[in-house]
Amino acid sequence: MLHIAKNLVQLKSTLRSTHSIVFAPDLLAIENNTLASILNGVPALIVTTKSVNSLYGSKLRRYLAARTPTLDYRIFVLSCEESSKTIDNVLAICEQAAMFNLKRRSRIVAMGGGVCTDLCGFAAAIYCRGVSHIKIPTTLLGIVDAGIGIKNGVNVGSNKNKLGTFYPPEYSILDPSFINTLDNRQIRCGMAESIKIALVSDRELFEIIENDGVELINSRFVDPWASAEAVVRQSAIRMLEQLNKNLHEVNDYARAVDLGHTFSPYLESISQYTLPHGEAVAIDMGISVLIGRSLGLLREDTAGRILSLIRNLGLPLYYSAMDPVELWRSLDLIRAHRDGRLNLVVPTDIGTYAFVDDLSSIGLNGLMALVVELREQNGEFDRHRAMVP
Amino acid sequence: MLHIAKNLVQLKSTLRSTHSIVFAPDLLAIENNTLASILNGVPALIVTTKSVNSLYGSKLRRYLAARTPTLDYRIFVLSCEESSKTIDNVLAICEQAAMFNLKRRSRIVAMGGGVCTDLCGFAAAIYCRGVSHIKIPTTLLGIVDAGIGIKNGVNVGSNKNKLGTFYPPEYSILDPSFINTLDNRQIRCGMAESIKIALVSDRELFEIIENDGVELINSRFVDPWASAEAVVRQSAIRMLEQLNKNLHEVNDYARAVDLGHTFSPYLESISQYTLPHGEAVAIDMGISVLIGRSLGLLREDTAGRILSLIRNLGLPLYYSAMDPVELWRSLDLIRAHRDGRLNLVVPTDIGTYAFVDDLSSIGLNGLMALVVELREQNGEFDRHRAMVP
């Protein structure tokens, strides 16, 4: 719409996009037509990680080769550690796309964890002023969280995701069978995000994780299959419902999915990113739960139930290097990042939450006491389960 | 909107934006409140070029200083040649933004030519996953064309605009008084884009340029003032109307504003970008006009009238290094870029146009003849006006 006045012309524009999230168990099974039918007719640069390539590369190549020449693709293998989340790797993907002679009607396909899907989303957003992209997350964390969002980013020095875009994928393809080759710690980290989304939106999902979470981790999401499917499906759908409320974050920065993501940036930072994201989220949820209890927003027994689940799944509630004074100070950075408001998400029951801006009634002393309590709970847990956070 | 089915969830999203184009003569006059009121309340990194800084830097600083401390800004001066259109300069702008501690609610302001506005638009699109940006074009070409579009881009090697985004500015601020310090050749190049938009959409604008174009160039858009204003305003509005039809180029690549932009990439390329964009557009329009005449789409006298205007304004119709065989071959690249169709825009009268896909009835021989005709017309013109293309 163009509005023309004397000294002012306004062009109001609308950009529409459709992001399809496809549940496709055994995606690379030779008889599964899902991926082939999606890739058909559009040239694709498929980017995968060294570790995914070593596990699934030959299966992927066999799958695609069975459909050649109908599929037009090139595979690019890229090392995808957290330290690989750089603009240089985004440009390396663009360079591959150019060497493959990709034009505007083409796709970049990410098959990997969060770093891979972030790099590919960013590359797709800027190559030829934007091409389509597809995310095939291969970690549980990717399947239930990072792989279905529309944000991407790279780090600049110690600034996490300082550069990036909001850029909806055309498809996210979710296949729980990739979880088979994850180690337990990675699976637990993904479960932390599932607990997060359950806590803010889905009591039933929480109870599935309570009942079958340990078995799911031990069986690597094979048994019980119905619960494995439910966790993947429900986590993804609930996440999408939350994102859908404010997809481009243009309204405000009060987002339920930020449960577990207020203290965790500090924790990850002091660990120099050796503390996995999901574990940092688990600790952050522990703190948030106790803050909710302290403020009278969450019942004592419910708080205990949530902490028990986190511990039972083998996730930490405490990180030895964390300093309550620094933790308290780190909230200023979060406030700045969220446009001046803290928007701390605290559960008020299983499936409901509140935003808290003012922690002055808790204060640094209260926070210290909470941290001590979490250390004790975690310590007990360590003795029982020989876990090292 | 979230549609949930068994194996498929679709998230349909809409991103809205409002791009305000403000006509603001004498923007930097101390009593002009336009820029101050726009900048008020939002931190801004103002990026300007070395040449604009030497001409307007002190005026800009005086203007802003008169409003300090209500304005929160930092000025960054960057060399902005065509060779500066690199991802490294985009990152340099982002680095300045980070050093200035800009958060998501902030702005990057470009005051300069097309390279500056492109670099800033790109930086704004990726810094903190997207901040607002403002374009203040200081060239006539920027005012009537590049400064009001939503595309940005940088070159990768010889690939023009290989990386970039569609990213609407929040404001474009158009001030014809910047034209005062342009040299004649730059002004003529801007006029080429005005002729382009007039040819496809506005007979009245074409006639204003016919009547007053030479005087406008010689007076640097001071006399006649009514015509100067009309050329800026009408060119910008017509351009916006055209862009508005297909802002993100998601429909197709048949765009009226591509008149003059089919053969010109080849011309710019063989000149190694020493041939200014506007002159390449003028030559391309000359070829397109003669193709229209050859195909019987454009009357002979109208074709002559258009070529006369181009010549009278001191714009070339011919470039000595151009090779009809290569020109013909270059169309394949354009077809690939436009998703398989040539979509050559040819005028069918003053203010109307057609798309041509098939040049086989003209062929290479016909194109050669057209080029010879343009060389002769240009040569005559060179002898009369001592112009060197």
Question: Out of B4, B14, B153, whose CB is closest to A16?
Answer: B14
CB within 8 Å: B91 and A94: no
Q: Which of B4, B7, B9, B333 to mutate to test the interface with A (most CBs of A within 10 A)?
A: B9
Rounded to two decimals, what is the model's pTM?
0.94
Which pLDDT score, from 0 to 100, does residue A252 have?
77
**For testing contact with chain B, the best of A3, A6, A13 (most B CBs within 10 A):** A13
Contacts A12 to B, Cβ<8 Å = 16-19
Q: How far is CA B6 from CA A229, B9, B11, in A?
A: 12, 8, 14
Residue A73 has pLDDT above 50, yes or no: yes
**pLDDT of amino acid B389:** 38
Instruction: Say whether A103 and B9 touch across the interface (CB within 8 A).
Output: no
Choose among B365, B297, B359: nearest CA to B334: B359
Question: Nearest CA to CA, how far is B98 from chain A (Å)?
Answer: 9
Interchain contact, A13 vs B14, CB within 8 Å: no
> Which residues in chain A have their CB less than 8 angstroms from residue B125's CB?
126, 165
Confidence band for B382, pLDDT divided at 50, 70 and 90: low
Of B9, B24, B163, the CB nearest to A126: B163
Select from B9, B15, B240 the Cβ nearest to the Cβ of A240: B9
Q: What's the rounded Cα separation, in Å, for the pair A167 and A155?
A: 17
The model's confidence at residue B388, banded by pLDDT at 50, 70 and 90, is: very low
Whether A163 and B244 lie within 8 Å, measured CB to CB: no
The chain B residue lying nearest A248, using CA atoms, is B15
For the stretch A24-53, pLDDT in tens is 999 999 999 999 999 999 999 999 999 999
CA distance B228 to chain A (A): 15
Interface contact A8-B23, CB threshold 8 A = yes
List of chain A residues whose C-beta atoms are within 8 Å of the C-beta of residue B165: 125-126, 129-130, 165
Predicted confidence (pLDDT) at residue A388 exceeds the cutoff of 60: no
How close A18 comes to chain B (CA, Å)? Answer: 4
Question: Using 50, 70 and 90 to split pLDDT, how confident is the model at A382?
Answer: low
Which chain A residues have a beta carbon less than 8 Å from that of B24? 7
Q: Are A199 and A347 in contact (CB under 8 A)?
A: yes
Crossing angle of the two packed helices A300-312 and A363-385, in degrees rounded to 10: 40
B34, B103, B129: best to mutate for the A interface, most A CBs within 10 A: B129
Query: Tokens 């990717």 — which residue?
Result: A142
pLDDT over threshold 90, residue A217: yes
Structure tokens at B280: 């390449």
Return the top range by mean pLDDT from A4-8, A329-333, B43-47: B43-47
Among A148-152, A384-388, B81-85, the minimum mean pLDDT is found in A384-388
By CA distance, what is B101's nearest residue in A?
A: A336
- Find the closest chain A residue to B1 by CA distance: A244
Most B CBs within 10 Å: which of A7, A11, A161, as the mutation test of the B interface? Answer: A11
Closest chain B residue by Cα to residue A169: B11
At residue A381 the predicted structure's pLDDT band, cuts being 50, 70 and 90, is: low
Question: Half-sphere exposure of residue B53, counting CA atoms within 13 Å on the CB side?
Answer: 13
pLDDT band at B62 (very low <50, low <70, confident <90, very high): very high
- Cα separation, B145 vs B277, in Å, equals 12
Q: Which of A52-56, A152-156, B307-311, B385-389 has the lowest mean pLDDT?
A: B385-389
> What residue has token string 């935003």?
A355
Distance CA A125, CA B344 (A): 28
Tell me what percent of the residues of chain B surpass a pLDDT of 90: 85
Three-state secondary-structure class, residue B339: coil
CA distance B150 to A217: 48
Q: How far apart are alpha carbons A75 and A100 in whole angstroms?
A: 10
Q: Count of CB contacts below 8 A, A vs B?
A: 179
Write out the two tokens for A276.
């996995």
Least CA distance to B169: which residue of chain A? Answer: A11
Distance from CA of B249 to the nearest CA of A (A): 10
3-state SS string over chain A? CEEECCCEEEEEEEEEEEEEEEECCCCCCCCCCHHHHHHCCCCEEEEEEHHHHHHHHHHHHHHHHCCCCCCCEEEEEECCCHHHCCHHHHHHHHHHHHHCCCCCCCEEEEEECHHHHHHHHHHHHHECCCCEEEEEECCHHHHHCHHHCCECCEEECCEEEEECCECCCCEEEECHHHHHHCCHHHHHHHHHHHHHHHHHHCHHHHHHHHHHHHHHHHCCCCCCHHHHHHHHHHHHHHHHHHHHCCCCCCCCCCCHHHCCCCCHHHHHHHCCCCCCHHHHHHHHHHHHHHHHHHCCCCCHHHHHHHHHHHHHCCCCCCCCCCCHHHHHHHHHHHHHHCCCCCCEEEEEECCEEEEECCCCCCHHHHHHHHHHHHHHHHHHHHHHHCCCC
Query: DSSP letters of B342-384?
Result: --EEEEEETTEEEEE---TTTHHHHHHHHHHHHHHHHHHHHHH
**Mutant choice from B3, B8, B10, B15 vs A, greatest count of A C-beta within 10 A:** B15
